Amino acid sequence: MPAITAPITVASALRSPRLLSRELLAGLVVAMALIPEAISFSIIAGVDPRYGLFSSFIMAVSIAVVGGRPAMISAATGAVALVIAPVAREHGIDYFIATVILAGALQIILSLLGVTRLLRFIPRSVMIGFVNALAILVALAQLPHLIAVPWLVYPLVVLAILILVFLPRVTRAVPAPLVAIVTVTVIVVVMGARVPNVGDQGTLPTSLPELFVPRVPLTWETLGIIGPFALAMAIVGLLESLMTAKLVDEITDTGSNKTREAWGQGVSNILSGFFGGMGGCAMIGQTMINVKSSGARTRISTFAAGSFLLALVVFLGGVVSMIPMAALVAVMLMVSVATFDWHSIRLSTLRRMPLGETGVMVITVAVVVATENLAIGVIVGVLVAMVVFARRVAHLATVTREISEEGSVLYRVRGALFFASSNDLVTQFDYAADPEHVTIDFSGAHIWDASSVAALDSIQERFARHDVRTTLSGLNAPSENLRRRLTGNL
């Protein structure tokens, strides 16, 4: 019997130089990848780059302590930036930061109300669509760095990809992304080549983040302005974070506390706001770099990512600015390839998979890619999956007609009776041809909602119009209680 490997904890990593170095190097790689992303998302939100960079630092450090999913990276994200960008554009930075703080408070409230339990209603087909759409978005985000650039960028990207592919086959002592970034940077510096680098993405801050209290009036009018945006940010942030946490659970074969992760996201966003950050949520791309590419498993890597990020941009900004975007693009492209669920699109898989499940996955991917919003895609995917499920279950309710030797008629109803299946139930009885008394047996059925009770009332009324008396038998206790409470009142 194979030995069970204990999960790596912070304590075990601190006792092992090998594990500790892996966690710290993973954090360093993630920090480098976070810098251009944070700058880009700040631009999307319409604020100075320092808001995204400070937010990424504060969220990564704080979520490492209060979060429920070890090794997951939280920072400034594009989805959050898109949601709250109108606030900065129309009302200014103080209202913008107030929105971030309120969103964090709402996330804490939602977590205490048990919103994480809703995760169980997200089907596997939507989860696969989420993962595949994310991989596509990560790849598409690299295209601007590969179009209308010096020719040297392309061989540099190829070199970095070769390192990322083949170095792990030789050794995993050092994360391949770190080796690729350092190698490409050294080549560019030695050659004196001019290629797009991190410094071209925006100005890096030169000071530490400071306490920021937004100057907004504490009135209902203010709440009316920022409330809708804060609620949207809270929901989008929680959805992306919980979906990412579930994905990391599967990759690492470990569990995590989703409720703690939810309120931890809220705490991190509140802290981010009070220190001049734009807020955010879990970052799937950087999380995959941390967990899949670099092999990190503990909170140390997340804390290190935030700490290295601050040190790099504030104290080593000149060095960081020289990192070629080609190296980071290569890393993100490989993350995209590793994240995509290739098994889900194999012909053998598609032939076995029900058409409805495949359709849900494709729709989820299409909506996410079209809107560039993972939350919208997941919500649409869940709604489509509900419709597919309802249509499928609706056909499971059957009615069979049995005639005894004495001429009495017995109908047997089997299946789940709810709004989708009960609507057709009324048409499955032979009202005009039946004798003056029929029995309807529900021992193989269950009544779930008021629509089904209304359908039973309609059936009895139609029989009564033909002077046929009906007896309902075999109802289980919950079904009978629901029918007695509602029948005749609908």
List, as one string, the DSSP characters of 313-332: HHHSHHHHTTSBHHHHHHHH
pTM of the model: 0.74
Q: What residue type is assigned to position 410 of the chain?
A: L
Q: What residue type is assigned to position 247 of the chain?
A: L
Q: What residue type is assigned to position 361 of the chain?
A: M
Q: Which pairs count as long-range contacts for 313-316, CB under 8 Å and 24+ apart, including other chains?
A: 313/35, 313/53, 313/204, 313/205, 314/204, 314/205, 314/206, 314/207, 314/208
* φ and ψ at residue 207, rounded to 5 degrees: -135, 165
Digit-by-digit pLDDT tens for the chain (490 residues) are 444 456 788 999 999 999 999 999 999 999 988 888 888 788 778 788 889 999 999 999 999 999 999 999 999 987 788 788 889 888 999 999 999 999 999 999 999 998 888 777 788 898 888 888 878 887 888 888 899 999 999 999 999 999 999 998 888 778 888 889 999 999 999 999 899 988 888 778 888 898 999 999 989 999 999 999 999 899 889 988 998 998 899 888 888 999 999 999 999 999 999 999 999 999 888 898 899 888 899 999 999 999 999 999 888 888 888 989 998 889 888 878 887 889 889 988 888 888 888 999 999 999 988 887 777 888 899 899 988 887 777 667 888 998 887 778 899 998 888 887 777 788 888 888 888 889 999 999 999 889 889 989 999 999 999 888 899 999 999 999 998 988 877 6
Helix (H) or strand (E) holding 437: strand 437-447
Residue 3: per-residue pLDDT: 45
Residue 353: per-residue pLDDT: 85
Would you give the DSSP letter of residue 197? B
Contact between 412 and 438 under an 8 Å Cβ cutoff? The reply is no
Residues ≥6 apart with Cβ < 8 Å to 181 = 29, 32, 160, 323, 327, 328, 331
Residue 326: per-residue pLDDT: 92
Residue 490: per-residue pLDDT: 65
Residues ≥6 apart with Cβ < 8 Å to 260 = 66, 67, 68
Neighbours of 383 (CB within 10 A): 13
Helix (H) or strand (E) holding 135: helix 124-140
Q: Residue 325 has which token pair? A: 């975007």
Ramachandran assignment for 415, one of left (phi > 0), alpha (psi -120 to 50 degrees), beta (any other): left
